[in-house]
Structure 1
């Protein structure tokens, strides 16, 4: 997500962490990519409802994509095979957005970032019912993006130097409390929007978080035990407009939304160093924000932060080939 909702639309107490904070190894690239059928005649452009205002995307083990609305907090599910979809979870109304979202491996729960409402929500992926709703942060906090690990759901706060950790049991059931985790080390907090997308390292030992401020836009590696952040060596690559992160094997896809591009970085296993290997651009990009994979494709919602949103504004999702 960009600097704030206003900028996006117009221009755009630390908790102790135990062994449960370890992330676990990343799933194999073949599983992450999905079956080969997700190509060919399947559409490379999906239409969303007019006025929907998408930001996040989640794809689970089935060929369906989930999108959250910045406007109303609705969650829309679309078939990747046909492009057809519907709202499966009704939002809580204006000001209670869904920014980032993820679906668990069992495809039973959706984990939703509530933006400036400072809410972390968990919804039943089949009925759309909100089954957990946590209030976090301070008055100027913004819950932005989320990543799921074997022991927790981790959320970024774009205006405070902290993450939020919602513990998950071995069945994926969320706990009853969210821990606020203060960032330290190399973390540099700006006066405005700072943290954005979040992922895991290839070996699952740490978190990767976009910092839009440090050295012109950096990727930070955060130790989940200590919350100490260290800047990832990306060579000459800066990511001032870095938004969503998507890790497939050791390839990290960094969506740079205002630049209408995806920078692809090959990481070492621990995520301390990366080499830029490709840049994906497409004339259909209209400020894409986040990315998810199915088959050999990457799917990205176009947030269109360069236009004033109206109930008639057209929104879509485009698919590009993986590197």
Structure 2
């Protein structure tokens, strides 16, 4: 979600608790989902989305289905990667209550939704779309993106220098209320929109968060127990338009939405430094925001932030080859 969109829609206390018990150990191993089988060549390379849908986030689990969140009313749409056909899975809360980032858990039972300027975290059933949990947060927050770890769901806040940690039990069910983890160290907070996408480091011991302000746009490595942030050396790469992050092994895909490109960086195991190794562009990109993988393909929704949304505006997600 970019600053421009936030400004065009709406200008952008939980108790402060780190809830850090075993946080680093709970992050688990490598991020991303890498499937051994390639997507068959006959599968479509574009997935049409409902007119007026306004997509932003995408999630793909072990099954060949993509889930998309709507910035308009929080709806969730499910599409088959094999056919391109889909259906509305979950009806959102309505206008002003979007679904921005979203992730599906390993069991493919739950979808965790970032509620944007609707100031909420929601959990819905990934099969029926039925609401499971909803958490209302403080005023003047913007819940942007989410990453799942074995012990928690972590959410970014684009308006405040903090993350939200929603603890999960061994079955993957949420436990208690989201806890606030303040960001410190090298973290630089802008006047309003700052944090965007979130991922894990390759060794699973820390988090990676896009900071659109610091040093012209960079990546921060965040200690989950303390919130201490350290700037990641990206070999001179700037990511002022950095949005969604996708980690596959040690390769981090950084979607630079307004730039219509995806930068691929090979990270060290700890996620402290990275080397740019590829830049993906495609004439079909129309401000892609986030990314998810299936086989040898990366799928990205085109948010089309360069046009005024209407009920008839056409949207789609496109597939490109992995770097």
2:183 matched to which residue of 1?
183
- In the alignment, structure 1 residue 24 sits paired with structure 2 residue 28: yes
1:284 matched to which residue of 2?
284
Once the two structures are superposed, the pairs formed by residues 135-154 of structure 1 within 5 Å of their partners are 135-137=136-138, 139-154=139-154
Shift of 1:4: 5.3
1:76 matched to which residue of 2?
77
| 1:49-104 deviation per Cα after TM superposition (whole angstroms, max 9, x unaligned) | 00000000000000000000000110000000000000010111101100000000
TM-score of the pair, normalised by structure 1: 0.96
Q: How many residues align?
A: 317
Runs of 4+ in structure 1 deviating by more than 4 angstroms, as ranges, are: none
Query: Helix, strand or coil: the match of 1:33?
Result: coil
Extract unaligned runs of 5+ from structure 2. 11-15
- Determine the C-alpha separation between the residues in 1 that align with 2:227 and 2:40: 40
Contact 1:39 1:295 in 2 (8 A): no
| 1:128-177 deviation per Cα after TM superposition (whole angstroms, max 9, x unaligned) | 1111000123x211000000000000000000000000001111111121
- In the alignment, structure 1 residue 197 sits paired with structure 2 residue 197: yes
Query: Helix, strand or coil: the match of 1:117?
Result: coil
Query: Helix, strand or coil: the match of 2:199?
Result: strand
Shift of 1:295: 0.7
- Determine the C-alpha separation between the residues in 1 that align with 2:258 and 2:130: 34
- In the alignment, structure 1 residue 15 sits paired with structure 2 residue 18: yes
- In the alignment, structure 1 residue 244 sits paired with structure 2 residue 244: yes
- In the alignment, structure 1 residue 62 sits paired with structure 2 residue 63: yes
1:305 matched to which residue of 2?
305
- Determine the C-alpha separation between the residues in 1 that align with 2:267 and 2:38: 28
Extract unaligned runs of 5+ from structure 1. none
Contact 1:4 1:193 in 2 (8 A): no
| 1:16-70 deviation per Cα after TM superposition (whole angstroms, max 9, x unaligned) | 411145301116x8xx221424131000001000000000000000000000000
2:13 matched to which residue of 1?
none
Shift of 1:8: 6.1
| 1:182-240 deviation per Cα after TM superposition (whole angstroms, max 9, x unaligned) | 00000000002100000000000000000000000010000011110000001210000
- Determine the C-alpha separation between the residues in 2 that align with 1:9 and 1:118: 14
2:131 matched to which residue of 1?
130
2:274 matched to which residue of 1?
274
Contact 2:263 2:279 in 1 (8 A): yes
| 1:275-300 deviation per Cα after TM superposition (whole angstroms, max 9, x unaligned) | 00010000000000000000100000
Contact 1:9 1:306 in 2 (8 A): no
- Determine the C-alpha separation between the residues in 1 that align with 2:37 and 2:181: 40
2:321 matched to which residue of 1?
321
